[in-house]
Structure 1
């Protein structure tokens, strides 16, 4: 053992359950390149395992990287291990998190957050100088942990067979992980936990969780000794519970306890400054008590000293990405049973404890066993860019995953990256995309910062990036105007005064982004923040919005959005929206800034689409031509055109006829008759043209286009001769045959030419006065004798008295009954006894014969 381990403090003398397993773990990693360690909470794996492997022979002077899911956990673990060695962080043990690094030349163990590993791998895929990567608290299944493991496995197989990988977890189905690591040995250690008495509610919580949590805390603090750790879903709930507890302290409804000092109430969540987080996890002063109100940040990795009471709200806030809308939102969900057990165990780390669960035993039985991997519900744009830079085209096939990225969300992420010019048409990273990836921020923000740098707006972009990466700086302000947040960050808040610590933290983060992007200069450009909307539009080009009225907007993507409360930005013609809440048909706009049309035309010129649209207008029944300038679903400009290409006009006119039907054309009775005659011939001989309305509509361009040149309205169409158009579909021979076989008129015995009605081509009608048919023995037939006409026998008053297709039978039978009736009504007319021998007449009686 080297001198670093000889200088350990008495913390090393404390026996922990993991100590018994350390020899077996060292042997496993001596023999294999990978291992899986499952150790219950309190076993000591986070701080004991890295120290026990510092002198492993295979390490050979290389470093150990240990991934922690949160910055607080990384700092705390590194400090604890350094203190164990009697050192300060940055010597043998250091940490590397965003905006805070303590690593020196002699550092052997680096505790890092998961995103840091991704950057290290991109800079050096072989991880030269690293002998072991430890994935701690892997059961939380953060996206960067899954990505880091997938990349490390590929690096191990391609570049570094000697690279060791160790996956550690408190609650995890370890067999799939061991299989993913090539059948790695699986080791398990029992934790050291004191008994925890668990209390459930008698009935489910109704209303807000804050009131139930406050009641439970007051009851527990009044009944039990020790400090309390309260799990709540987010900072908003923490603030409200804090207010209720301070009221309880002031009214003496919650008392410190016999001989106890004051009760301190401390929040603990990711956006707090590091010193505030450290105070929350540190032991209370002797004789004092504290209540830590925490998000899931305190669920694992971090031990909050002195806790004997856990109050668990049973909720967690997780990001959910919608492939349907392309937007992410924070969703409050019930914790899994595994997470609930993790939280419960916090009460039994140092002594017997108590856990108050704000749900019923029946509800507990319905909890999901494990939490879903973040990969399944997150915005995958950062992941897709990292993989593209790594050289992965198909992540599902080229990398080994415990859970593969969802195909729909991944495809949408690739589309966004192409829109941000980070990927080319083949899906490969552009030079711009590699610059974005190197910044380590979300691709949207990275694109904004790099583009803003070219415009001399780099500082403002970095300030916006810091603001957008954190919770809202003006939590009580109802205005959605992002410019107010920017002014508040610059110390010029006009209304709500932001938290000073948050301002300092965000200002430091903005400067760090400036350093990373190579942006110099301390004075902010554009003090009035006029360019805020433009910069937001660069980051969120798919969320550029155009006003539709009444606070409603249309997004470039085609979805709707709305400003819920009337405010100045409600009437802005254009907005760049940075944050939306996906709810219903219209998403709620939470953060935005005004955007000028001139800015869209200038900075998005290469994305504007100019279209000449020639369309049929149903209301005016005419072709209208216009030129539109579009940005996605947004119409920025629209100009009516007096002249358009004749072909476009003709196509639009045909589309209008197809849409509204052939009734737009000037049909005459003669034209419809001709159509019916041709249809009859087609029915008996399919080689004839099909002139049904359906067929004519389907073939409009073929038969109508040659005749509509220069026309653009229904009134213009009125000049068409539909009879001539239909005749043009027939050859000369067909026209002759048509007149012969399907005549327009039939000459009857009286000498009259009677028109045939072809309204029903299957049953043409000859309507004729009965007396004109005297002497006609059989029914006339058409279509080459194939089809008898239907004869409507008319009375002298032109009313039908008989309908038949069998004239011979009519004369033999029905005629005599009809004759009696008609003779009585029309006595002056001619009603012979023998109609076949009688002289036909179109008059009342035949003309007398002259000798």
Structure 2
């Protein structure tokens, strides 16, 4: 091999590790040459084919072409590639460069990997879902079926220790990389708040071009930013701008990679240019510090693209692009002080992605939830459950595991949703499946109507924002047509409802175009969109907001079309529920598809038990409202329970937790907040105690004090001491202070008008001391009532003095 590369120095160590252990982890910085050198170096050591996995199609093709050129051969002889929709391999091919999903299909169709001697996982630090799954399956195959299968995991920035441990303490081989220094330049001050991102990026690119020589590689979050920055840039005439992103056609991507024939090349790229690709004339990197990732929200069942700060590992990877072939410079669009706040590594895709495809693969493998597989990052159980529920709705899984339909879906190069649609709707669904698997070909200003996208495939016009997307969709549609079965004809709305049974939306009442989705979530449409008046829609793309997702793509569907597709899932339901808005129990009969209510009517003769159970939700909202008598009862129970643990816990929290047990039987006829306000809790509370418990309660904390005139005065136990309030005249002749057990009652003596006169815990002392002063005051106010000189000898009374 000509043109020595840094990786060459450690290739003997790598070959020795594979010969001895059959596995290795190779750490080599960007530009070391691991992608194109390692497979070639292993050719003489490995019996069978070497399959190398690349995370991106562009990188897979470029790596295969570079290795074939090293051997002075065309691609497809010793070195070939296999990517979605394209393959160049032959009978003599020994090295196959494939994208990661291809390996999963190889493993599922032939777990022994017949004819394959080694698997090489390149750029594993990207932690794609397919790479994690592929490594987990390959490791199980090596342990159970193929102990001769060599495994090599290669990375530039990954923490190698955990990967080596995962692979049974695999040997770690390190390459120091090329010794081309890269000068890093940070901003002096942070980008000013309010500054447009594209303006800040353009300014930094223009500065980098003015201060340096050679090609410039700029990292931007996505295609939109690339196009806007390209429009903003003001560069010298000899500078040629080349976009580079995944949705471009291969010809345009190759133009961005090739050295410039004249002048300076300025490549505006997404993260596609972080790894595996060597853009030979690049000497300068401008890193805007942003990356776009897909985030899956299990609560909404939707994925959304979010723009986030890059991790330090990604920033180092990008910086390395400037030093691959010569000394370079890296400009970072943040200050050195801001760098410490960046995360160390990007999240693994298994942590943030939709796991429905993974769950389907695990079911096909027979691995259940994957707990027994060697995942570097185990999948989240909650997200797995959400994915499993979707697959069950699609008929891909049942209680016994994967179904025949699920096996058919696993063979399709589509998300299970789209595969389900293709299998039921047939060949006519191929264009729609290909379209929904790609990015939107229309500009952001276009209506959300999915039908417009289908029309664009048939008649591309000036409104197309990305013709490369249209061409890829057409090519993929042809391929899917060959995989699709025969099926009865369906229109696009019915097809979309097959793929998204949880996203059929019904417009809510009101002026705003807000929709409730069949899966229970909410979604909103722009008021000025032509579809804003549609009653029923199928939402095929949103921004993923978990509270109320903004609709980015949808198609109108009629009720008849919905019934034609999901008629078996539409049915009448009797609903009793508490209405927070009306503060009452409502009883309805509703025809529903999931959370979408297609018809609604009053439920006459509603089940009383269902009404009572619905009222419990009202009680939870309104809270307990005990009457004075009920409050005193609760206080008695609380007091006695301190020494008698056999009594039930009647604290408010405990009562609310057990509403079904004690309150439900007493709620007959209670339907509204007003009914509840007038409801007496005391009978229900007393029913919680059996006869023995009531006897002990009455003995330890009697409910009443009986006056000499047989009046029952309620005793209040809620204070520091038990208390009664009684008219003073009723206590005449009482010579011993009232008690509960040994505890004296706190007695509030009342005037004839029932106003407090005196509070005492020693009634005999009151008669002997304070009574005379009270008598003098009260005789003037209430002359018609008796105020004897000696209250101890007087008879108790409730009456005034008799008239003369």
TM-score (norm 1): 0.78
CA distance in 2, matches of 1:318, 1:683: 60
State the SS of the aligned residue for 1:200: strand
Structure 2 unmatched ranges of 5 or more: none
2:575 aligned partner: 613
Structure 1 unmatched ranges of 5 or more: 1-11, 257-262, 749-753
Q: Measured at CA, do residues 388 and 765 of structure 1 come closer, stay the same or move farther in structure 2, by a change above 3 Å? A: same
1:585 aligned partner: 547
1:552 aligned partner: 514
Q: Report if the CA contact (8 A) 1:756-1:766 is conserved.
A: no
| CA deviations over 1:506-542 (Å, ceiling 9, x no partner) | 1111121222234699xxx67xxxx434333332333
1:127 corresponds to 2:113: yes
Q: Report if the CA contact (8 A) 2:359-2:369 is conserved.
A: no
1:254 corresponds to 2:236: yes
| CA deviations over 1:709-748 (Å, ceiling 9, x no partner) | 88978999999999999999999x99xx99xx99999786
Paired residue for 1:506, among 461, 468, 473? Answer: 473
Q: Measured at CA, do residues 399 and 810 of structure 1 come closer, stay the same or move farther in structure 2, by a change above 3 Å? A: closer
| CA deviations over 1:670-721 (Å, ceiling 9, x no partner) | xx9999999999999999999x999999999999999998897899999999
1:325 corresponds to 2:281: no
1:81 aligned partner: 67
Q: Report if the CA contact (8 A) 1:779-1:788 is conserved.
A: no
1:447 aligned partner: 420
Q: Report if the CA contact (8 A) 2:121-2:153 is conserved.
A: yes
1:541 corresponds to 2:516: no
Q: Report if the CA contact (8 A) 1:266-1:280 is conserved.
A: yes
Shift of 1:20: 4.1
1:751 aligned partner: none
Q: Measured at CA, do residues 759 and 655 of structure 1 come closer, stay the same or move farther in structure 2, by a change above 3 Å? A: farther
| CA deviations over 1:66-99 (Å, ceiling 9, x no partner) | 1111111111121222233333222222110011
CA distance in 1, matches of 2:678, 2:191: 77
State the SS of the aligned residue for 1:300: coil
- Once the two structures are overlaid, the 10-residue window that deviates more, 384-393 or 579-588, is 579-588
2:352 aligned partner: 377
CA distance in 2, matches of 1:215, 1:654: 63
Paired residue for 2:603, among 638, 641, 651? Answer: 641
Q: How does 1:191-230 map to 2 (within 5 A)?
A: 191-206=177-192, 207-222=195-210, 224-230=212-218
Q: How does 1:715-794 map to 2 (within 5 A)?
A: 756-758=712-714, 767=727
Q: Measured at CA, do residues 129 and 785 of structure 1 come closer, stay the same or move farther in structure 2, by a change above 3 Å? A: closer
Shift of 1:584: 6.9
Shift of 1:135: 1.4
CA distance in 2, matches of 1:689, 1:47: 78
Q: Measured at CA, do residues 829 and 346 of structure 1 come closer, stay the same or move farther in structure 2, by a change above 3 Å? A: closer
CA distance in 2, matches of 1:341, 1:717: 65
1:26 corresponds to 2:15: yes
Q: Measured at CA, do residues 768 and 441 of structure 1 come closer, stay the same or move farther in structure 2, by a change above 3 Å? A: same
1:116 corresponds to 2:98: no
Q: Report if the CA contact (8 A) 1:578-1:592 is conserved.
A: yes
Paired residue for 1:279, among 248, 255, 268? Answer: 255
State the SS of the aligned residue for 1:604: helix
1:268 aligned partner: 244
Q: Report if the CA contact (8 A) 1:94-1:103 is conserved.
A: yes
1:9 aligned partner: none
1:311 aligned partner: 286
CA distance in 1, matches of 2:739, 2:8: 108
Q: Report if the CA contact (8 A) 1:840-1:846 is conserved.
A: no
TM-score (norm 2): 0.82
State the SS of the aligned residue for 2:528: coil
CA distance in 2, matches of 1:757, 1:782: 13
Q: How does 1:810-849 map to 2 (within 5 A)?
A: 844=801
- Once the two structures are overlaid, the 10-residue window that deviates more, 798-807 or 719-728, is 719-728
1:243 corresponds to 2:219: no
CA distance in 2, matches of 1:838, 1:365: 89
Q: Report if the CA contact (8 A) 1:142-1:374 is conserved.
A: yes
CA distance in 1, matches of 2:774, 2:11: 118
Paired residue for 2:38, among 49, 61, 68? Answer: 49
Q: Measured at CA, do residues 715 and 213 of structure 1 come closer, stay the same or move farther in structure 2, by a change above 3 Å? A: closer
Q: Report if the CA contact (8 A) 1:150-1:401 is conserved.
A: yes
State the SS of the aligned residue for 1:73: helix
1:413 corresponds to 2:387: yes
CA distance in 1, matches of 2:607, 2:635: 36
CA distance in 2, matches of 1:334, 1:439: 35
2:361 aligned partner: 386
State the SS of the aligned residue for 1:568: coil
2:410 aligned partner: 437
Paired residue for 1:361, among 331, 336, 339? Answer: 336
1:477 aligned partner: 445
1:39 corresponds to 2:21: no
Aligned-residue CA RMSD (Å) = 4.8
Q: Measured at CA, do residues 347 and 519 of structure 1 come closer, stay the same or move farther in structure 2, by a change above 3 Å? A: farther
Shift of 1:271: 0.8
Shift of 1:152: 0.8
Shift of 1:295: 1.3
Q: Measured at CA, do residues 128 and 789 of structure 1 come closer, stay the same or move farther in structure 2, by a change above 3 Å? A: closer
| CA deviations over 1:458-506 (Å, ceiling 9, x no partner) | 42x322222222221002434222221111112165x723443332221
State the SS of the aligned residue for 1:187: strand
Q: Report if the CA contact (8 A) 1:68-1:113 is conserved.
A: yes
Q: Report if the CA contact (8 A) 2:50-2:94 is conserved.
A: yes
State the SS of the aligned residue for 1:439: coil
Q: Report if the CA contact (8 A) 1:621-1:714 is conserved.
A: yes
CA distance in 2, matches of 1:33, 1:568: 61
1:158 corresponds to 2:144: yes
1:142 aligned partner: 128
Shift of 1:843: 7.6
Q: Measured at CA, do residues 177 and 70 of structure 1 come closer, stay the same or move farther in structure 2, by a change above 3 Å? A: same
Q: Report if the CA contact (8 A) 2:296-2:354 is conserved.
A: yes
1:337 corresponds to 2:305: no
Shift of 1:111: 1.0
CA distance in 2, matches of 1:94, 1:151: 23
CA distance in 2, matches of 1:359, 1:230: 14
Q: Report if the CA contact (8 A) 2:50-2:116 is conserved.
A: yes
Paired residue for 2:82, among 96, 100, 125? Answer: 96
CA distance in 1, matches of 2:16, 2:640: 93
1:302 corresponds to 2:291: no
1:6 aligned partner: none
Q: Report if the CA contact (8 A) 1:678-1:689 is conserved.
A: no
Q: How does 1:460-475 map to 2 (within 5 A)?
A: 461-475=429-443
Shift of 1:805: 9.0
Q: Report if the CA contact (8 A) 1:42-1:193 is conserved.
A: no
Q: Report if the CA contact (8 A) 1:756-1:764 is conserved.
A: no
Q: Measured at CA, do residues 725 and 297 of structure 1 come closer, stay the same or move farther in structure 2, by a change above 3 Å? A: closer
CA distance in 1, matches of 2:667, 2:21: 82
Shift of 1:658: 9.0
Q: Report if the CA contact (8 A) 2:786-2:801 is conserved.
A: yes
Q: Report if the CA contact (8 A) 1:95-1:110 is conserved.
A: yes
Paired residue for 1:515, among 478, 482, 485? Answer: 482
CA distance in 2, matches of 1:837, 1:605: 89
CA distance in 2, matches of 1:491, 1:707: 68
CA distance in 2, matches of 1:299, 1:273: 19
1:348 aligned partner: 323
1:626 corresponds to 2:588: yes
State the SS of the aligned residue for 2:4: coil
Structure having the higher Rg: 1
1:3 aligned partner: none
Q: Report if the CA contact (8 A) 1:793-1:800 is conserved.
A: yes
Q: Measured at CA, do residues 829 and 590 of structure 1 come closer, stay the same or move farther in structure 2, by a change above 3 Å? A: closer
